Amino acid sequence: MTALKNGVGASADQKTRFFLVIMRLNLKFLLISLCVTVALITFALWANCGVGHGLVPKWPQHHGDGDNPFEQTEEIDCIINQEYAIGCRKEGEEVYLPFSFLQKYFDVYGSLNVVDGSRRFDWTHSYGKVNYPKGAYDPRGIFMYFENYNVEMRDRVKCISAIDGVPISTQWESQGYFYATQIAQFGLSHYSKNLTEPEPRRKTVEDGDREMATWVVPKGSSMNRTIVRGTTATAPAGAVLSFSTRKSFDTAVVLPMDHVLDLVLSVDVLLKPNSTICVTLQNRETQKLYHVYYILADLLIGVQDENIYYGIGLNSTGAWKHLTRDLFVDLQKGLPQYASTDKRRKMRRTELKVVEISLLGNGSIDNLTLSTSEHISHFYDAAEWLIRHQDPSTGGWPIPVRRKLGSGFGELGRGWYSAMAQGHAISLLARAYYHSRGDKRYLRAALDGLKLFRIPSYQGGVLATFLGKYAWYEEYPTTPHSFVLNGFIYSLLGLYDLNSTAPANQSNEAAVLFEQGMSSLKKMLLLYDTGSGTSYDLRHFTLGIAPNLARWDYHATHVNQLLLLATIDPDPLISQTAERWKNYMVGKRAPHN
Amino acid sequence: MTALKNGVGASADQKTRFFLVIMRLNLKFLLISLCVTVALITFALWANCGVGHGLVPKWPQHHGDGDNPFEQTEEIDCIINQEYAIGCRKEGEEVYLPFSFLQKYFDVYGSLNVVDGSRRFDWTHSYGKVNYPKGAYDPRGIFMYFENYNVEMRDRVKCISAIDGVPISTQWESQGYFYATQIAQFGLSHYSKNLTEPEPRRKTVEDGDREMATWVVPKGSSMNRTIVRGTTATAPAGAVLSFSTRKSFDTAVVLPMDHVLDLVLSVDVLLKPNSTICVTLQNRETQKLYHVYYILADLLIGVQDENIYYGIGLNSTGAWKHLTRDLFVDLQKGLPQYASTDKRRKMRRTELKVVEISLLGNGSIDNLTLSTSEHISHFYDAAEWLIRHQDPSTGGWPIPVRRKLGSGFGELGRGWYSAMAQGHAISLLARAYYHSRGDKRYLRAALDGLKLFRIPSYQGGVLATFLGKYAWYEEYPTTPHSFVLNGFIYSLLGLYDLNSTAPANQSNEAAVLFEQGMSSLKKMLLLYDTGSGTSYDLRHFTLGIAPNLARWDYHATHVNQLLLLATIDPDPLISQTAERWKNYMVGKRAPHN
């Protein structure tokens, strides 16, 4: 994978979640929650700003004589490697170099901040974030630290398909495509959030019998609640709400809502041609109104002014379909195109409220619900996508875009397979098998997903070998091999998850592949160690070029992966390497001779 | 090898040689030499101090407002990675960090200097020195850039054995031992100096017939010049000077000398028991006298006050022996023990003069000569040592001390072999074969030296293989393999030298071994590339520990070796890697993703 794995944006997510938590609590818990708020803010400030001012140990330094050191401050030229000069400051025997130079020269980070009213400069060696496992890794539990991920909000996610309920990637092709790795990450993040977040607040607005809302039915339109039989697996049974209107919007059946801040919509819909269900959202600050339409079309996303359209698929015409839509995401993904002046401005979730739901044309709805989250629905949307899109002969999830990993590598043609996509999909399907209490479709798909691990990359599989000795599962099965580290480890987790979840008589292949991969990892892990960081892959070895150093978020991913593996494999090689690599992030280096 | 390869000390050598060159010139060249002096000094200043002050491009920086930036200088704390605080300076938006911190944090170098009357700070990323080849590498010419080496002056050389004329190492055992690598480096450096330095000034003082000196013969002692027959290979033919004295020093036959600054003594000697040849040296500044004795003993070196003793070997009793002694080196090696207050103080060569040569006991001398240098004699001393000390069955030069390369490696027992020693020895012997116009003893020894390259290290040879695929010649044939890079490349040079020098019908084995090694080098070279430097070996891979980063002099050796290989192998992998590794020395790094 490239840019998708890092936890950037997690902080914004956390704030959002924090507010939701507050809102969800009853009034009788208000006092407690206020205390928690204070504690959290204190913690956030502490986490953001590091240790307190007075507690920090001081580095021994030369000082100018006299009470006022600035009396001795002189300007002095620093000649850098006999190549160029920069302006420095000298006080006594100490020379001071400008950060603007150091930042570029060493690729470090720094910022002026005010803490407790006093100004300070925070020097940061790296921006990677270490995620310490809270306990031993559980293949039925949180996937790594993906509860912090917010896949759908990434810029490279075009939108969530309303046909499939899974993200569309624009990473390597701007028109958008299904990328199994991303879809699995989306599903795994929601599976993990489901385990870490509090129960959502969930309000059924209309279900045709128990909950009946007060819809406004214009003259000439009609609405009624009828009993339907569940003729298909996806069709609701019992009472549903049916509507019939003319084509113009002023004839729509409308449900006005007041101050609804729960932005995840769940609904069973059955639409006839030219029908739509529309949700009107309002920005509480600007009062601006936005309309999100779910229409009968094979359209992915369409935007016209403040109107954003998602197609639920022409082959849903006249058939029941369950939608789970994060309205905030659906609006956000339409906004960049909405107004060029507004481009890329990210709205906050808390700015929005639902003000209206309208039904136009002919159709029925049931179980219309608004909630703070519906993680498990998103998770199963991803699982079902994987079931539907697995190639029956290879067991793989082909990636439909070409990919050139870098100069010197052959291009991967459309339909290539990735060990990371396979591994992620298997991790997800193993959890779906567990969570569904044994739905064999998920187990079958996961087991089929192993096939490509045995097929060499030059024959279309994902298996590479390092000098004919060590088996490696390629995130990018390039020629020559690339040996991308993080994707390989993700694929190992998939194998581990399936081995731990599958019935004993069906887990052998995953077990063998996992052991083989772990053995290779232990042999090859140190090849990625540069003594001050890690390399992303081994292209320097296979192409004879400069190493492709891992930027800090990938380096942090390496560290996080090792920390996690250390909870399931006691070999000190794993934990010691994790520890050293973690230290690289604060500027500590391997020794030189 | 460990610390012996770097060119530290070359600068002092250069100065010494510079003065010698001046002295050697006739008066009529004085004017020219003065011009050269001025040019050299100018160059030295330039080389030392880098580019001129005004010519250096300026780094763009923030500046405080106002005419006097120091008005805005504030003290500010810099918090380093949330771990500790250092005192910094702030001017406007620019923050200045103290070099005392940066030096430790980044392992960089810097010094305050005065150039053209103005103070400046020189920032140096590394202390390694790049030696650009002057042309294509010639196996009959200079060995690498070893003309800059001064092996005998290294602290780890105990002294030059007067029995063998080669250095004694104390690197891994303080009592001293013969180390074939060092001996070959000694010989190769003198071979190279012989090619780069001007002809020495050489004065035969006494040869029994053409040159007859005025010896002072005390009463009771005798001296005469007689004709001898060259009965052995080493015995001179023709007239020699014979002497006979009693045991006390006041009976010695003495040749007083006036202001002799040429400090390399050559002499054929035949000593009877309890006889000695003694050279008295004087420090021209302190007037202090020193006596260097060459005695009939198996003593390596002995020191008593100002008297330094070298044994020429008991088995030289009554036999002719040729000595070539650098009196400056012989004195210097005796000095550290001479007086504890004087310990480690290095005398300059130009401080010394020869004031007297004395003969005590019974014996003969011939061809007594003082010269500025006798490089080829030293070279052949090394070549002969290699001939005498090659193991007849293995063709190797066993290293008689135990060696533990590092924690995790098995210890190399006494008598281990090194591909680097073999390669260096072969480089030297190939040159001896060439220089001697085909002395087959040297060729034979060099060819025999190849045998160990075919024997796996676990069977006592120097051959390792990388994952069973790539042949590698081990400087240290450890278990597990260590894959030290620089020693391997030195061994390749030996193979290349022999292949180029041996007659066509005997060069095949060296050619095959060289090609095999070059092929491995090209496959494995990038495993040493950390993106900001190089690793010394691959112990991180074989032991699963932190990489053993090459300190800058070894890194520079890697660069220099590649630059040299690039002159004999056009593969851009070599030259491009050399270029990138060179750039690491000024802080340029490989890109990250």
Length reported for chain A: 593
Nearest CA among B516, B410, B425 for reference residue B473 = B516
For the stretch B110-147, pLDDT in tens is 999 998 888 999 999 999 899 999 899 999 999 999 99
In B433-590, DSSP assigns E strands to 463-466, 470-473
- By C-alpha distance, which of B360, B366, B368 is closest to B239? B366
Asked if the model's pLDDT at residue B424 lies above 50, the reply is yes
Measured between CA atoms, how close is A578 to chain B, in angstroms?
11
Considering only CB atoms, which chain B residues are within 8 Å of A70?
A: 70, 73, 75
Taking the C-alpha atoms of residue A149 and residue A186, their distance in angstroms, rounded to an integer, is 8
How confident is the model over A102-119, as a mean pLDDT?
A: 92
The Cα–Cα gap between A165 and A88 comes to 57
Please tell me which of the candidates B59, B89, B533 has its beta carbon nearest to residue A96.
B89
What confidence score (pLDDT) does residue A522 get?
98
Q: Sign (positive/negative) of CA torsion B476, B480, B485, B490?
A: positive
Residue A27 has pLDDT above 70, yes or no: no
Contact A534, A585 (CB under 8 A): no
- Cα torsion through B402, B406, B408, B414, rounded to 10: -10
In this prediction, residue A360 has a pLDDT band, given cuts at 50, 70 and 90, of: very high
Before A480, cis peptide (omega within 30)?
A: yes
- Are the Cβ atoms of A593 and B112 closer than 8 angstroms? no
b/e string for B556-583 if b means 16 or more Cβ within 10 A? bbbbbbbbbbbebbeeebbbebbebbbe
Query: What is chain B's mean pLDDT, rounded?
Result: 88
Give the C-alpha separation, A336 to A318, whole Å. 32
Pairwise CB contact (< 8 Å): A589 & B545:
no
Strand partners, B94: B91
> Could you tell me how many residues make up chain B?
593
In chain A, what residues touch B107 (CB-CB under 8 Å)? Answer: 589, 592
Q: Using an 8 Å Cβ cutoff, are A110 and A104 in contact?
A: no
**Encoded tokens for B530:** 């950390």
Ranges A343-357, A449-463, B228-242, B253-267, most confident: A449-463
Cα–Cα dist B487/B427, whole Å: 13
A532 CA: distance to closest CA in chain B (Å): 8
B95 contacts in chain A (CB < 8 Å): 98-99, 110, 112, 121
Is the distance from CB of B292 to CB of B330 less than 8 angstroms?
yes
> What's the pLDDT tens digit per position in A406-441?
999 999 999 999 999 999 999 999 999 999 999 999
Nearest Cα to Cα of residue B1 among B503, B552, B427, B487: B487
Q: Is the sign of the CA dihedral A224, A225, A231, A236 positive or negative?
A: positive
Whether A405 and A477 have beta carbons less than 8 Å apart is answered as no
d(CA A586, nearest CA chain B) in Å: 6
Provide the token pair at B476. 């240290």
- Say how far apart CA A376 and CA A432 lie, in whole Å: 10
Q: Are A310 and A301 in contact (CB under 8 A)?
A: yes
Domain ranges of chain A: 74-124, 201-338+347-372, 385-585
For chain A, what is the mean pLDDT?
88
| B530/A531 CB distance under 8 A | yes
Do B593 and A122 lie within an 8 Å CB cutoff? Answer: no
| Beta carbons within 8 Å of A257's beta carbon, 6+ residues apart | A205, A354, A355, A356, A357
CA distance A489 to chain B (A): 18
Query: What is the structure's pLDDT at A323?
Result: 96
pLDDT of residue A259: 73
Residue B523 or residue A66, greater confidence:
B523
- Does the pLDDT at position A304 exceed 60? yes
The confidence score (pLDDT) of residue B31 equals 44
Residue B123's pLDDT is what? 95
Chain B residues in contact with A80 by the CB 8 A cut-off are 59, 123, 587
**Chain B: closest CA distance from residue A546 (Å):** 6
At which residue do the structure tokens 């074939």 appear? B180
Least-confidence region, from A61-70, A362-371, B339-348: A61-70
Question: Among B51, B77, B548, whose Cβ lies nearest the Cβ of A82?
Answer: B51
Residue in B2, B56, B58 to test binding to A, most A beta-carbons within 10 Å: B56
Whole-angstrom CA distances from B198 to A206, B9, B18, B169 are: 103, 21, 11, 29
Q: Which chain B residues are within 8 Å of A90, Cβ to Cβ?
A: 112, 119, 121
Contact (Cβ atoms closer than 8 angstroms) between residue A339 and residue A233 = no
Among the partner-chain residues B87, B526, B530, the one whose CB lies closest to the CB of A541 is B526
**A338: enclosing H helix or E strand:** helix A327-338
Please answer yes or no on whether A531 and B546 come within 8 Å at the CB atom.
Answer: yes
User: For chain B, what percent of residues have pLDDT higher than 70?
Assistant: 85
Radius of gyration of chain B (CA): 28
Q: Which of A69, A123, A554 sits opposite B79 (nearest CB)?
A: A123
- The verdict on a CB contact (< 8 Å) between A97 and B101 is no
Can you spell out the DSSP letters for B498-537? HHHHS-GGG-HHHHHHHHHHHHHHHHHGGGGB-SSSBBSS
A120: closest chain B residue by CA:
B77
Instruction: State pLDDT tens for residues B155-203.
Output: 899 999 999 999 999 989 988 999 999 999 999 999 999 999 999 999 9
Q: A192 in the Ramachandran plot: left (φ > 0), alpha (ψ -120 to 50) or beta? A: alpha
| Residue A187 phi, psi dihedral angles, 5° rounding | -65, -45
Each residue's pLDDT tens digit, A311-328: 999 999 989 999 999 999
pLDDT at A345: 60
Collapsing DSSP to helix, strand or coil, A18 comes out as helix
The whole-angstrom distance between A94's CA and the closest CA on chain B is 6
More confident site: A557 or B47:
A557
Tell if the CB–CB gap between B123 and A81 is shorter than 8 Å.
Answer: yes
SS3 B158: strand
The helices-and-strands tally (H runs, E runs) of chain A is 13, 21
Alpha helices in A28-167 (DSSP H): 30-49, 99-106
Listed in sequence order, the DSSP H helices in A95-210 are 99-106, 180-196
Q: Which of A122, A521, A526, A553 would best serve as a mutation to test chain B binding (most B beta carbons within 10 A)?
A: A526
Structure tokens at A15: 């704030």
In this prediction, residue B216 has a pLDDT band, given cuts at 50, 70 and 90, of: very high
SS3 state of residue B359: strand
Q: Which residue in chain A is spatially nearest to B54 when comparing CA positions?
A: A85
User: Scanning the structure block, which residue is given the tokens 């960089």?
Assistant: B108
Residue in this structure with the two tokens 């030996």, named with its chain if needed: B494
User: Are the C-beta atoms of residues A162 and A321 closer than 8 Å to each other?
Assistant: no
CB contact under 8 A, A57 and B84: yes
The confidence score (pLDDT) of residue A229 equals 75
pLDDT-derived band at B232 (thresholds 50, 70, 90) equals: low
Residue in chain A closest to B49 (alpha carbons) equals A82
Please determine, for residue B418, whether its predicted confidence score (pLDDT) is greater than 80.
Answer: yes
Residues contacting residue A384 through CB under 8 Å, at least 6 positions apart:
A164, A165
Q: What angle do CA B547, B553, B558 make, to 5 degrees?
A: 70
| Confidence at residue A296, expressed as pLDDT on a 0 to 100 scale | 94
* B531 vs A546, A554, A576: nearest CB: A546
Q: Residues near A96 by Cβ (< 8 Å), separated by ≥ 6?
A: A88, A89, A90, B88, B89, B96, B97, B98, B99
Dist. CA B74–CA A531, nearest whole Å: 36
DSSP string, B30-97: HHHHHHHHHHHHHHHHHHHH-S-TTTSPBPP----SSS-GGGG-EEEEEEETTTEEEEEEEETTEEEE
pLDDT > 90 in chain A, percent: 76
Of A2, A527, A592, the CB nearest to B527: A527
Q: What is the largest CA-CA distance in chain B?
A: 93
What are the Cα distances from residue B43, in Å, to A334, B36, B46, B48, B464? 67, 10, 5, 8, 46
Mean pLDDT, to the nearest integer, of B24-52?
A: 45
- Residue B550 has a pLDDT of 97
Fill in the amino acid letter for B194.
N
Contacting residues for A530 by C-beta, under 8 A, at least 6 apart: A547, A549, B530, B531, B532, B547
CA distances to A246, A588, B522 from A251, in Å: 6, 68, 76
Is residue A576 classed as helix, strand or coil in its secondary structure? helix
Measured from the Cβ of residue B416, the count of other Cβ atoms closer than 10 Å reads 22
Cα–Cα distance between A52 and A222 in angstroms, integer?
Answer: 66
Domain B201-338+347-372 has what CATH class? mainly beta
Q: Which residue has the higher pLDDT, A541 or A235?
A: A541
B/e letters for A83-110, b = 16+ CB within 10 Å, e = fewer, are eebbbbbbbeebbbbbbbbbeebbebeb
Answer yes or no: do B587 and A94 touch at CB < 8 A.
Answer: no
Predicted TM-score (pTM) of the model is 0.85
Nearest-angstrom CA–CA distance, A111 and A457 = 46
User: Both tokens of residue A545?
Assistant: 């070029």
CB-CB: which of A2, A112, A550 is closest to B592?
A550
Mutate: best of B59, B481, B575, partner A, most A CBs <10 A: B59
How many beta-carbon contacts under 8 Å exist across A and B? 291
Predicted pLDDT of residue B336:
66
Q: Which pLDDT band, with edges at 50, 70 and 90, does B547 fall under?
A: very high
As given in the structure block, the two tokens for residue A78 are 């620093």
CA distance B41 to chain A (A): 18
B591/A548 CB distance under 8 A: yes
Chain A residue with the nearest C-alpha to that of B592: A549
